Amino acid sequence: MISPTILKENILEATSNIPAIKRKEVLVTDDEMVELLGDHKDSQNILLIAVLPSYGGFGQEDEAGMISYMQFFLLEKVDYKKFKNRDEYIAVFDRTLAAAKLFLTEMFGLELLNCSLEQLQYDFRIRPISRKASCNGYEIQIDSKAYSDNY
């Protein structure tokens, strides 16, 4: 189970080597995101938002443990009127996906292209986000299991 303080510290450490991520925020729920995005400036792109994890249990007796459900967003605020063509829109997703891959590598040690079963300790999903308060990019969901003797 990762605490809010440890999560924030890990994010700051992991993103120190990713210059594309210029702003980092931690929110309690993703409901707070629209307000934050309204104040976000395109000069602060790429924005990394972490939502505090939720937790759940799994298993029985000797196989019991805790799951931390983590959610991250890597977003760029854009002015759609400045796009000259669809390629500029798609380029936003290229940039934010590149930052998402680096973030997963730095934060969780996940090498997406060279991932072996021994390295993969997390279940994860990466989904595109479009036009959320004029922002586009990706949402990353990580489910991290820890057995009862590991937390």
Confidence of residue 141 (pLDDT cuts 50, 70, 90): very high
Give the mean model confidence (pLDDT) for residues 55-80.
Answer: 87
Q: How far is residue 36's CA from residue 4's CA, in Å, rounded to a whole number?
A: 19
Confidence of residue 29 (pLDDT cuts 50, 70, 90): confident
Break the chain into its structural domains and give their ranges: 4-150
Q: Enter the pTM of the model.
A: 0.85
Q: Which burial class, exposed, middle or buried, applies to 83 when counting CB atoms under 10 A from its CB (0-12, 13-18, 19+)?
A: middle
pLDDT at 111: 61
pLDDT for residue 126 is more than 90:
yes
Backbone angles phi, psi at 18, to 5 degrees: -125, 85
Q: Which CATH code for domain 4-150?
A: 3.30.70
